[in-house]
Amino acid sequence: MVPVVAFLGFLWAAEVHDRADASQVTKAAYAKFGSGPRIVCVAQDRNNATWYCSSTRWGDDPNCRTARVSITGSIDFADQTLACE
């Protein structure tokens, strides 16, 4: 019984529950990249694990930086700038 409950708990944490909201990811982006032009972060999947953060500070188009939120809630940003879709 315990392995089943542990598996369901892991499944919930990895796939179902929201890992972060827009304000948390945007706040982390400003903490990493500093003040300046506006940053807007938009979730890309149903559990808010992957975000695209766009800003004119990364190019005129504007371009995006990918943010990933781990199961534990830590937020990491990609070093490369991508074209927003």
Q: Is the pLDDT of residue 62 over 90?
A: no
Q: Write out pLDDT tens, residues 6-30.
A: 555 555 555 555 678 999 999 999 9
For the residues 68-77, what does the mean pLDDT come to? Answer: 92
pTM of the model: 0.77
Give the count of alpha carbons within 13 A of 25, CB side only: 26
Domain boundaries, the chain: 2-83
For the residues 71-78, what does the mean pLDDT come to? Answer: 92
> pLDDT class for 69, splitting at 50, 70, 90?
very high
